[in-house]
Structure 1
Amino acid sequence: MTGRNTGELLLRVDDLHVSYGRVEAVRGVNLSVGAGQIVSVIGANGAGKSTLLAAVMGALPSRGTVEYGGRALRHVPLESRVAAGMTLVPERRELFGAMTVEDNLRLGAYTRRGAGDLDGVYARFPRLRERRTQHAGTLSGGEQQMLAIGRALMARPRLLLLDEPSLGLAPLIVREILRIVAELRASGVTVLIVEQNARAALAISDYGYVLEGGQVSAEGPASRLADDPAVVASYLGG
């Protein structure tokens, strides 16, 4: 592990392995996320990024160590991880399309007593307030991503895991979504984001990892990775 985090270490992943049958999708990954940071994991499609997040969240079986807030999570089920302050926004968003925006949001607070932070979510995403009685399935792609993030925030997470939040969205909407993600850091939410859009992800991150073939091939401060010739050539378009 690197010694880069001088403050509280919120998430530590050590020698993580995830397999699908005989195929090892994640191989010996080490990473850490300091409290109050945005950390990005970049890499091509099929690099193992989504598998990594799912394993951290407890949605996939894995070998290795995952620690959250200093607590080992080996035998902690997904539901308990959510209750402890970890929340995942999946790549497919997994909204309930036949339910209203507000009902989808309220479902995000099921691990909390009361209604969660509905007013706070609406303040952050005014468009969701405007569409609160609209069915989620009728929203645009960008609005659905806002709803997926808003639903996760209803649980008042300490650690937000974001899986490809820019996928399928227009550049203008991507900028808006990632601007909001960057603002979450100021409100005390720590973020681990996996992205194919490396340039956008590194622009809002404190630290980054490059995943290739299920392994970390490079890591460093996000600004340094963004200037690394090998990273630029492979992921930043020249």
Structure 2
Amino acid sequence: MTALLTVADAHVSYGKVEAVRSVSLEVRPGEIVTIVGANGAGKTTLLNAIMGVLPLQGTVSFAGTNLGPLDIEDRVSAGLSLVPEHRELFATMSVEENLQLGAFRNAAAAARSFERVYALFPRLQERRAQLAGTLSGGEQQMLAMGRALMGQPKLLMLDEPSLGLAPRIVADIFKIIADLKQAGVAVLLVEQNAQAALQIADRAYVMELGEFVLSGAAKDIAADQRVIASYLGFQHEEAAAS
């Protein structure tokens, strides 16, 4: 199957410090791909560079189009969307107003997008008039994902969606990510919670110090002794015992 997103020999630097080097990856249509690794490995940097927030040396193509010359808005219009780690919601605007902003490039389809987002996140519909800043952490994460989905992306990039959330809410978020695949949305997922990410992903990349050190089917990565020792550890032992 032809890849939806292809990154080839990517390098990303902050001044003289090279945070990502010689990274290549691909995401196919309708696929969940995860990048796991420790904090500071370069995962967030890579997502921001793919989205156009940071300059990238190398090649990034999406749906057959070279993204190099495109700004962030044009990448969104092409069907690429990013939910950043810190969500970046408008706290003094309502849930519905935040969602409306996500449809700014496709206002004609906004009604259909609202219907789709509220079906995925019924809690947002219940709180549609509530200010975003008054939502719980889990609800804010749902709103950030919903806002990104309002643009009807072909590929949704998620940066640490479970960060700071209670285990029960994390389970809800990962179920929704799995549901996105069933709805035909490809997902590129960056996560420190390797166990949860590998359970729902089709394929995985392991990132260390700005480079991919392992890649393959998620089930194979989850069974790799190096990954178990470095990223699963106690969580893996608990799962095996249960």
TM-score band w.r.t. shorter chain: over 0.9
Letter in 2 for 1:56: I
- 2:215 is the alignment partner of 1:228: no
User: Partner residue of 2:31?
Assistant: 37
Report the secondary structure of 1:98's partner residue.
coil
- 2:15 is the alignment partner of 1:27: no
Report the secondary structure of 2:4's partner residue.
strand
**Structure 2: runs of 5+ lacking an equivalent:** 235-242
User: Partner residue of 2:192?
Assistant: 196
CA distance in 1, matches of 2:89, 2:101: 10
User: Partner residue of 2:79?
Assistant: 85
Q: Deviations over 1:193-237 (max 9, x none)?
A: 000000100100000000000000000100000000000000002
Report the secondary structure of 2:233's partner residue.
coil
Instruction: After TM superposition, give the deviation of residue 113 of structure 1 in Å.
Output: 2.8
Pairwise CA RMSD: 0.8
CA distance in 1, matches of 2:121, 2:28: 26
Q: 2:115 aligns with which of 111, 116, 119?
A: 119
User: Partner residue of 2:56?
Assistant: 62
Q: 1:147 aligns with which of 124, 143, 168?
A: 143
Letter in 1 for 2:228: V
Instruction: After TM superposition, give the deviation of residue 105 of structure 1 in Å.
Output: 0.4
User: Partner residue of 1:219?
Assistant: 215
Query: Which stretch of the first structure deviates more once superposed, 82-91 or 113-122?
Result: 113-122
Instruction: After TM superposition, give the deviation of residue 158 of structure 1 in Å.
Output: 0.2
User: Partner residue of 2:203?
Assistant: 207
CA distance in 2, matches of 1:153, 1:79: 15
Q: Deviations over 1:19-57 (max 9, x none)?
A: 001110001101111111000000000000000000001
CA distance in 2, matches of 1:32, 1:84: 17
CA distance in 2, matches of 1:110, 1:210: 35
CA distance in 2, matches of 1:149, 1:123: 13
Letter in 1 for 2:34: S
Instruction: After TM superposition, give the deviation of residue 119 of structure 1 in Å.
Output: 1.2
- 2:37 is the alignment partner of 1:47: no
User: Partner residue of 1:3?
Assistant: none
Report which of the two has the higher share of helix.
2
What's the % identity of the aligned pairs? 59
Instruction: After TM superposition, give the deviation of residue 122 of structure 1 in Å.
Output: 0.8
CA distance in 2, matches of 1:232, 1:171: 20
CA distance in 1, matches of 2:126, 2:233: 37
User: Partner residue of 2:126?
Assistant: 130
**Structure 1: runs of 5+ lacking an equivalent:** 1-6
Instruction: After TM superposition, give the deviation of residue 8 of structure 1 in Å.
Output: 2.4
TM-score for both structures, normalised by structure 1: 0.96
